């Protein structure tokens, strides 16, 4: 598959905003902040950018503005091909995939990928309704929300593999520890196992501290055919793969796995010519704690039913391998849905550049991002390599 590509894809610059309840910031402010930081790091000018891909899910349903490609091109003062890419919570990953294919095909030399979402200005019920636009009609008609859907997934995993509420709580504890080392995280402080287990129930067995938050934030990445002047610091995206599954859970044979993630990961490993065991660091889509456990198994890091014990033993914490969600993940760094897939790329890029600060994974050479839309209807996997 890789032989089809005309060009390699290098990341020249990447940036994120602070994540959280940013009531005083507009989407345009957030996007422009990280765009200009990423461009400054890249050494490119705005005039060098040949296309813009914007990952976003909720700008139309919440903000009343769907035309984000032209919107941000105008804000930046450039006239280039620009488009919004939407795929529920995988919108950011799909925008990265679009940018990747644009570079590998030779269509453009330099492109800008932006992920942005503004969620906290709205009532919780408005956000919940908008998010369920990523679900099946039957699920919405039944009054389901994503916490309840992932609660069913959690119950299935518990029944099949003996996973416990404590196992899921261990994911939250680990990711909040990583977030405590990340100044941009929404919740940059550690929590205890007892705090997770005693937090209020959202949809049994999932508790408040098993769930990712509503988040504002943005991220930007500059992609290029050329590695730039700092070749010793270059990061190359060596695989980008997408797969889909049914929108609703009722049509699936097995709720303990996301088939889309398994299929996309298989494609990505083949494209990159690597195996799961080669990955040093990963950012995965832990919208709920059970989602990280399932992701560890779907990605091949651990056998089915064994990820919970691996997390409990600290194998995915800083100091282990593969280290998972050094940013704090969606759970603690925050989940600005359309921006999440881009911010994951930024974190892995920084890890492979060796500029991740206190949360640096020593010797990391190969990283992976796992971005999921809905309850697994879309999955996007990227694999990055330091050169």
2-123+216-224: CATH, from 3.40.47.10, 3.30.70.260, 3.90.660.10, 3.90.1150.10: 3.40.47.10
Angle between helices 165-179 and 289-298 in degrees, nearest 10: 90
**Can you name the CATH fold of 145-212+237-386?**
Peroxisomal Thiolase; Chain A, domain 1 (3.40.47)
Residue ranges of the chain assigned to CATH 3.40.47.10: 2-123+216-224, 145-212+237-386
Q: What is the reported pLDDT for 4?
A: 65
Q: What is the reported pLDDT for 199?
A: 98
Confirm whether 89 is a catalytic residue: yes
Which residues, listed in sequence order, are joined to residue 371 by a DSSP beta bridge? 380
DSSP three-state, residue 74: helix
Q: Which of 34, 89, 211, 333 is catalytic?
A: 89
Rounded Cα gap, residues 368 and 359, in angstroms: 16
Which residues of the chain fall short of a pLDDT of 50? 1-2
pLDDT tens digits, one per residue of 185-202:
999 999 999 999 999 999
Q: What is the reported pLDDT for 232?
A: 53
Which residues, listed in sequence order, are joined to residue 275 by a DSSP beta bridge? none
Which runs of E-coded beta strand occur in 66-136?
Answer: 82-85, 110-117
User: Is the separation of the CB atoms in 15 and 37 below 8 Å?
Assistant: yes
Rounded Cα gap, residues 103 and 111, in angstroms: 8
Q: Quick one: which of 348, 329, 341 has its CA closest to 370?
A: 341
Q: Which of 97, 335, 370, 382 is catalytic?
A: 335
Rounded Cα gap, residues 253 and 259, in angstroms: 10
Per the rule left: phi > 0, alpha: psi between -120 and 50, beta: everything else, 208 is alpha
* 51's tokens: 């296309």
């Amino acid at each position: 598959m890789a032989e089809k590509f005309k060009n390699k894809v290098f990341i020249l610059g990447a940036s994120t905003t602070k994540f959280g309840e940013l009531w005083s910031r507009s989407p345009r402010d957030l996007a422009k902040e990280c765009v200009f930081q990423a461009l400054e790091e890249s050494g490119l000018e705005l005039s060098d950018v040949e296309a813009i891909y914007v990952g976003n899910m909720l700008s139309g349903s919440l903000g009343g503005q769907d035309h984000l490609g032209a919107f941000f091109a105008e804000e930046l003062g450039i006239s280039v091909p620009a488009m919004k890419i939407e795929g529920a919570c995988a919108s950011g990953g799909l925008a990265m995939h679009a940018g990747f294919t644009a570079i590998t095909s030779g269509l453009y030399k330099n492109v800008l990928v932006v992920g942005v979402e503004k969620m906290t200005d709205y009532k919780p019920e408005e956000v919940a309704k908008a998010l369920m636009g990523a679900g099946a009609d039957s699920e919405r008609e039944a009054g389901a929300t994503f916490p309840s859907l992932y609660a069913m997934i959690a119950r299935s995993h518990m029944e099949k593999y003996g996973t416990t509420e404590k196992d899921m709580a261990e994911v939250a504890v680990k990711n909040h520890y990583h977030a405590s080392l990340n100044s941009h995280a929404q919740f940059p402080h550690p929590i205890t196992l007892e705090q997770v287990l005693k937090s209020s129930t959202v949809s049994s067995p999932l508790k408040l501290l098993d769930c990712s938050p509503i988040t504002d934030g943005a991220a930007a990445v500059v992609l290029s055919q050329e590695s730039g002047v700092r070749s010793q610091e270059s990061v190359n995206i060596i695989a980008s793969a997408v797969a889909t599954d049914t929108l609703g859970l009722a049509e699936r044979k097995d709720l303990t796995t996301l088939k889309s993630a398994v299929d996309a990961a298989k494609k990505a490993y083949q494209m990159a010519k690597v195996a799961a065991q080669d990955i040093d660091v990963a950012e995965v889509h832990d919208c709920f704690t059970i989602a990280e456990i399932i992701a560890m198994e779907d990605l091949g890091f651990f056998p089915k039913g064994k990820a919970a014990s691996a997390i409990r033993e600290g194998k995915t914490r800083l100091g282990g391998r593969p280290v998972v969600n050094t940013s704090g993940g969606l759970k603690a760094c925050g989940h600005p849905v359309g921006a999440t897939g881009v911010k994951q790329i930024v974190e892995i890029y920084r890890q492979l550049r060796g500029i991740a600060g206190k949360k640096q994974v020593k010797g990391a050479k190969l990283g992976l991002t796992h971005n999921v839309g809905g309850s697994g209807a879309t999955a996007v996997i990227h694999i990055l390599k330091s050169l």
